[in-house]
Structures are given as structure tokens and as C-alpha cells.
Chain A
């Protein structure tokens, strides 16, 4: 049997009534050991912050296990009026031969389907250099996936277009 796949449609401008969970942005509770914030802005082709987007995150636990019992692994961080998203989580461990990373799916008005990218960590130089996904990108694209240190975790801006355009993946 092969059933035709249902096409995607945009989340539109009003998704926050339906896709916002009270604990969505907290993969782990505040105060959890090792908890840190992943955060950043989402910007359109004019550099304008996007206030009606949501970033969904999926990642391994600190031991590199996906679907690990007791760790939700999934975050949902809607942007605020300044286009800022944030998700409280633990730093993932390496997954097989992959450097620690977090998958990011971005949904927004104006995106007819989610776009998929990854966040990598700046303090993993060696593992990042050997990561098969990062290595498949040219240096310019690769740099758009590596977050910066911040006071409370790691920051990564996502540029949908323009000179700093983030690398997104076909899936």
C-alpha cells in the first residue's frame, strides 16, 4: 500500500493559541542540574525580527541517547515581539560519530512548511570538525550552525535570507 502524503500548510499568524504549551520552552525544569538556555533571534530577509515564529527542538540527552526515558528531548520556543526564541535544556552528548547538536525546526507565518536546521556548540571544536553533517557543508554554511557562548547558555540567530542566511536542510 502507498497512500499519498498529506501536504504541509503554513502555521499562519495565529498558531500561538494552539501550539503554545505552558512548559513548552522548558525541556527540563528550571533549576535542573546542567540546565542552560539555547536562544536567539529569527530574522527575515530585511533583517527584521520575526515575532510570529516558533522553534521546535529535538536532541539527545547528555549521554547521547535519543528517546531517553525521563528526558523529553523536545522543546517548543515561540518567538517574542523582538523575534527572540528560547529553550531551557541540557547540553546533548555526542550521538555516534556526530558532534553534540540540537535539531531545530522553525515554523512561521510565511513558511509553507517548517524549515530544518541544527545548532552546534562552540566548545566542541574537535568533534565539530569530524561531524559528518557539518563536514558536508561549505565553511560559510557551516558557520551559520555554530552557536556562540552567552551568559546563560548558547545563542544562535537564525537568518531566513540575506548575507548571513542560515543553512537549512532538505528532509
Chain B
């Protein structure tokens, strides 16, 4: 178990992830006693969200290629309190490992039926649910023969600006974990496991889609 109160986050400078070398802040971080500005945050539960925003398989005329999956979970604070009415945003590559982004030059096919972007608002128990397709692994230029393990990017707001979390959800048993500096930038191996979703047979839809559960825990609402 991760010890309570320990900082679970990666260091900003993690040289194995090459891009941190010129981008990690060089000045030591200053202390900030949170003020009202840090203890409040945007309430985005009324962002325009359509039903199709949470189903990445129905955003085009045809169905995307790949393994259909359900990804669901809860957003809570470390004290256990649910975070309802909060915006959850996800983005990912397609089944072949390619993002619909101009800068992604990986020579894998784009899928005309897959954008790879979803959003939803959590319900009163902090729950979210997406339908999407299993993303592929893909190569990147970090080091020779570098490949990212399959992942889905998650963005969550919480109640306070300093609770804001952007992370990546990985899939169980990925053989690329050992070689991925982004995954391994999280210092505590037990905390790394929190980024790996759990196969969920109960929510798996017979004859239709596998399900995975991914719970997100934000730091406790800070107090001044």
C-alpha cells in the first residue's frame, strides 16, 4: 500500500523521460499557503456534453476498428468523498496506435471513424462511464526502440484548482511497463499500480464489450 500522505506524483525532472530535461522548472518550487484562489476551482458540470461525447464508438457514420471496451470508475477524494458533477475528459490513440493529431507521424493507419476524444460529467456518486476501443501501443522518439504502453489520457477537475489532475490509465499486464519512463516516473511501485485499470467481468457486456474499472482519487480538498 502507498503510505498515507506521501507525495505520489512523479518528480518534475526525470531524465529518463528526455523531454523533462529542458522543461522541468529549474528554480526550486516556492511554498504556497493555499489561499481562497487555490481552495476554489471551476465548476464545469454545466459544460455542454452530449451523450455521444461519452461513447467514442458512435461519433462517426461507421464504427471504429478495434476491440470495443467500457471504461468506468469513480472520482473521489482521498477522504472517500465522491466528486459529483465534475468534468472528466479523455483522449487516446486508435486501435493501430495513431492519434488524430497533425504531429503524430507514426506510420499506422488513421481510422476515419475514430476521433479518440471523450468527455462526461460524473453523477452524484462521482461515477463516469465511457465506451471506446482498446488503444494500441505506439513508438516514440525518447530512446532507441521506445514504445508507449497502451493508455488513455484522463483529465479531472475536482473542487479546487489545486486538486486538478491529468493522468494516464494503463491496461493490466502490459509487457511495456518495464521499459516506459513515463509510467516509471512515479517513484512508488504501489502508486504506479493505481494507474493500471482492473478488468471487470461484472461490467463486461456479453457478446459486446469488455469492461475495465479505473478509480481516480484526488487529494483531499485542501484547507487554508
Contacts and interface: CB of A to CB of B under 8 A. Distances in A.
Given A16-B101, A18-B117, A110-B20, A171 B34 contact: yes
B96 interface: no
Interface string A134-171: 00110001000000000000000000111001111111
Contact of A98 (B35, B41, B79, B218): B35
Contact of A108 (B23, B89, B116): B23
Grouping DSSP codes into helix (H, G, I), strand (E, B) and loop, the B interface class, with mixed when no group exceeds half, is loop
Interface residues of B, number: 75
Contacts of A121: none
A9 B91 CA distance: 13
A98 B34 CA distance: 12
B22 A169 contact: no
B194 A6 contact: yes
Contacts of B27: 141, 165-168
Contact of B80 (A3, A109, A162): A3
Contacts, number: 219
A11 B89 CA distance: 12
Contacts of A15: 91, 153, 166
A171 B220 CA distance: 12
Contact of B167 (A7, A44, A73): A7
B186 to A, nearest CB: 4
A169 B9 CA distance: 15
Contact of A2 (B36, B79, B101, B215): B79
B79 A8 contact: no
Residue with the highest number of chain B CB atoms closer than 10 Å, among A1, A59, A132: A1
A168 to B, nearest CB: 5
Contact of A165 (B1, B25, B89, B191): B25
A170 B219 CA distance: 14
B30 A170 contact: yes
B185 A67 contact: no
A7 B40 contact: no
B78 interface: yes
Interface in A1-45: 1-19, 21, 44-45
30 contacts: A3-B78, A3-B80, A3-B217, A4-B2, A5-B218, A6-B167, A7-B167, A9-B166, A10-B19, A11-B166, A12-B168, A14-B103, A18-B91, A18-B116, A18-B117, A44-B23, A52-B103, A58-B42, A66-B40, A74-B41, A105-B161, A112-B9, A114-B166, A141-B30, A160-B22, A166-B25, A167-B27, A167-B30, A169-B29, A171-B38
